[in-house]
Amino acid sequence: MAKSNTKATSSSSSQTKITVQLASFFKRLIAWVYDLLGGLAVFILALTAGLALINLIAIPFNVDGEQLSLMISQNPLWSVYLLLCVQYYYVWCWVKGGQTVGMRAWRLKVCKPDGQLLDWKEGYLRSLASLGGIGTIWALIDKDKRGLQDLVCNSRVIQLPKNLPTEKKPLI
């Protein structure tokens, strides 16, 4: 696979400017697959915590477990809660460090054209515009390798150089 000559500029907190490559569609796709595992972990954690809390609340009312399960599964707020938990995970990663776990593994980072991290509004907008990752397909035809979510919130996904020292921030 040939390397692109497209460049972007990123600046770190010390204001050191570096020239970086824009991330290829293939690397973004592989990072997305990694990130599905992180999203699944958050989904399972939110599911477990939510069910535990609902069961604790239901104990004084002597609600039958089968009846409680049926009530939860038919309530649209339950699905919204689970989706919002997963969405928050991705947005938090982008806002706090510019990288999800999959992006970190492949040395990718999402940032604004000037190298700054996204703010919360841009993070949520990017999350919604990504359509669950499908918006990245647009990067195949965009000359600047931007997905639909990057166009909407004016962000870039860059490939960090191998020799760049990594910041010691927690993954979660």
pLDDT tens digits, one per residue of 66-88: 888 888 989 999 999 999 999 99
Q: What is the structure's pLDDT at 15?
A: 58
159 pairs with which residues across the strands? Answer: 21, 108
CA 41, CA 72: separation in Å to the nearest integer?
20
7 pairs with which residues across the strands? Answer: 21
Kindly report whether the global pTM for this prediction surpasses the value 0.85: no
Residue 89 Rama label (left phi>0; alpha psi -120 to 50; beta): alpha
CA 158, CA 103: separation in Å to the nearest integer?
10
21 pairs with which residues across the strands? Answer: 7, 159
Average pLDDT over residues 34-52: 96
How many other CB atoms are there within 10 angstroms of residue 33's CB atom? 10
What rounded mean pLDDT belongs to the chain?
A: 87
Average pLDDT over residues 160-171: 67
Residue type, 171: L
Half-sphere exposure of 62 (CA within 13 A, CB side): 0
Residue 99 has pLDDT above 70, yes or no: yes
**HEC readout, 125-163:** HHHHHCHHHHHHHHHHCCCCCCCHHHHHHCCEEEECCCC
pLDDT tens digits, one per residue of 112-138: 999 999 999 999 999 999 998 899 999
DSSP for 76-140, please give it: HHHHHHHHHHHHHHHHHHHHHTS--HHHHHTTEEEE-TTSPPP-HHHHHHHHHHTGGGGGGGGGG
